[in-house]
Amino acid sequence: SPPLPIYTQEEVAKHHSSAKGVWVTYKGGVYDITEFVSLHPGGDKILLAAGGALEPFWALYAVHNQEHVLEMLSQYKVGELREEDRTLDSSSLDPYAKDPPRHPVLRVNSQKPFNAEPPTEILTDNFITPSAFFFKRNHLPVPQVDPSTYQLKIQGLPGGTVSLSLEDLKSRFPKYIVTATLQCAGNRRSEMNQVKQVKGLNWGIAAISNATWAGPRLRDVLLYAGYKSGGKAQHVHFEGLDKDVTGTSYGASIPLGKALSEEGDVILAYEMNGEDLPADHGFPVRVVVPGIVGARNVKWLDKIVLSEVESSSHWQQNDYKGFSPGTDWDTVDFKSAPAIQELPVQSAITWPAEGAVLDHSLGEVTVKGYAWSGGGREIVRVDVSLDGGKTWQVAKLQGREGEALDLSPPPGRAWAWKLWELSAPLPSGTQELEIICKAVDSSYNVQPDSMAPIWNLRGVLSNAWHRVKVKISE
Ligand code: HEM
Ligand code: MTE
Ligand code: MO
């Protein structure tokens, strides 16, 4: 057969939609897969590769590493990629190409950067969330960090910059183990979106997870690096190794008092659930700031800076703040609101799911969920209603597996969520239930009953009563 035509990457890139045809490259070959798109067992995700290389996607979805997949592809070959363009596959162009593989069970809100939450029905099956299922919230590509040359820099202290290797962090300080829940400020944003459109990832109820973290206390590291009281610093900045195209890294800050407090339990974690931190969660070191919004728990930690002022990072100054429902994008003044630190009391129903059909003959329903509050405030009660809020019952709280609840954490240091459940007879004479949960924390803070009065343009702090409608079969 005659040799196939040679195409440039530029020509291939023009075929990037169903309208213009869908071309892809693979190992130097050019393929017109327009006809295959609708036949693809993996759905229209395949269009992400349109105009570019398949390799990085197939690295992500290893299911393609099979003979029959290659045979399928070979039917669509239309040409060869010009020699000079072969190095320009998207693995060298795509800043996300080196992101780690992820578990396919995750509900992906955004692929690049990677943002995903575990399916609701497995979220509360265990007090500790396995790392693979722990929600992932990245703003940028996952940086590649060599643990043998890693240096954490600490600046803003009288003695100048102090650098610590990973080995230093492991060997020079006592290792603390802290079980702490992280929640993204945007958890449950999708419910706020139903009131009125907000800007942000459409998180369900699972942008929250609970893990065991281990590493030195930030307090000990700061004292080692020469911190002395009486200085002017009031904030601790954290900078990540993840950078955007302009070279700006992810950053945030917390009050110095939280960092120094012996009861604050802020650690520089190098372990998550007993293993090295996974790439997505900040390998080799992240700061874990228990009780504080996820955004300040900076991953891939590069630098710690003590300062008189808060971090100037976009994510500290112009994002992760709460506003009135009356504030819109034309009137918002980000300087007028404080950065979110401690989060408000939260709870949600993980079982049954919205729209589930409960079998009437079982006679009973077991409702399950999680509850958590920021600032170390312990969850003291969860109320559950099966009739849209007319009557309420108190759920049974569960701490760690096998742990009696009277072994609760010291006051003000309840960093981990409480799972809860309530078993109750199915009401008769009704075909639909509206199940509601609401939690109370140790300061007697409660959740608002609806989203509209707490609606805000970024869809953060979404903590109204969680409502789930289910049907009862006859
Ligand atoms: C699944 C073919 C491109 C994402 C599959 C399967 C085949 C296939 C045969 C089923 C494999 C099995 O279960 O044994 C192809 C071919 C492609 C292509 C021939 C290129 C011409 C892509 C691209 C993406 C993608 C570019 C992502 C951007 C997926 C996913 C699945 C899948 C996520 C798994 C779906 C699931 O398990 O539910 N593909 N694929 N595929 N593909 Fe592709
Ligand atoms: N740290 C860095 N360096 N880069 C990031 O994008 N995202 C933050 C925070 N730390 C982020 C980061 C946000 S908004 C959240 S909610 C948590 O990490 C999520 O942590 P996780 O991915 O381990 O669940
Ligand atoms: Mo977040």
CA-nearest residue, atom 8 of ligand 2: 295
ipTM here: 0.75
The ligand whose atoms approach the alpha carbon of 273 most closely is: 2
pLDDT value for 407: 59
* Closest atom of ligand 2 to CA, residue 240: 3
**Topology of the domain covering 346-473:** Immunoglobulin-like (2.60.40)
Task: Locate CATH 3.10.120.10 in the chain.
Answer: 6-93
CA 396 to CA 12: how far, in whole Å? 59
pLDDT value for 97: 87
Please pick, among 235, 320, 370, 458, the residue that the annotation labels catalytic.
320
* Positions of the chain with pLDDT under 70: 56, 59-62, 87-93, 401-407
Question: Is 7 tagged catalytic?
Answer: no
Please pick, among 15, 26, 31, 64, the residue that the annotation labels catalytic.
64
Q: Domain 136-336 is of which CATH architecture?
A: Alpha-Beta Complex (3.90)
* Closest atom of ligand 1 to CA, residue 68: 9
Amino acid at 239: E
Please pick, among 184, 217, 237, 377, the residue that the annotation labels catalytic.
184
Question: Is 184 tagged catalytic?
Answer: yes
Do residues 144 and 235 touch, judged by C-beta distance below 8 A? no
Distance 58 CA to ligand 1 centre (A): 8
Query: What is the CB < 6 Å shell around ligand 1?
Result: 24, 33, 36, 40-42, 45-46, 48-49, 54, 57, 61, 63-64, 66, 69, 72-73
Question: Is 137 tagged catalytic?
Answer: yes
Do residues 320 and 337 touch, judged by C-beta distance below 8 A? no
The ligand whose atoms approach the alpha carbon of 104 most closely is: 1
Beta-ladder partners of 288: 267
The pair phi, psi for residue 305, each rounded to 5°, is -130, 125
Task: Locate CATH 3.90.420.10 in the chain.
Answer: 136-336
- What tokens does 44 get? 């229209």
- What tokens does 298 get? 């900076």
Query: What is the CB < 6 Å shell around ligand 2?
Result: 134-140, 182, 184, 240, 242, 250, 280-281, 294-295, 297-300
The ligand whose atoms approach the alpha carbon of 115 most closely is: 2
CA-nearest residue, atom 42 of ligand 1: 42
Best residue among 137, 250, 280 to mutate for probing ligand 2's pocket (most ligand atoms within 8 Å of CB) is 137
Question: Is 437 tagged catalytic?
Answer: no
Do residues 290 and 265 touch, judged by C-beta distance below 8 A? yes
Task: Locate CATH 2.60.40.650 in the chain.
Answer: 346-473
Angle at 265 between CA 283 and CA 219, to 5 degrees: 85
Please pick, among 7, 26, 137, 237, the residue that the annotation labels catalytic.
137
Q: The domain 6-93: what is its CATH number?
A: 3.10.120.10
Question: Is 31 tagged catalytic?
Answer: no
Distance 297 CA to ligand 2 centre (A): 6
Best residue among 102, 107, 129, 138 to mutate for probing ligand 2's pocket (most ligand atoms within 8 Å of CB) is 138
pLDDT value for 86: 83
Best residue among 297, 302, 316, 372 to mutate for probing ligand 2's pocket (most ligand atoms within 8 Å of CB) is 297
pLDDT value for 95: 83
**424-435: pLDDT as tens digits:** 999 888 899 999
CA 185 to CA 460: how far, in whole Å? 5
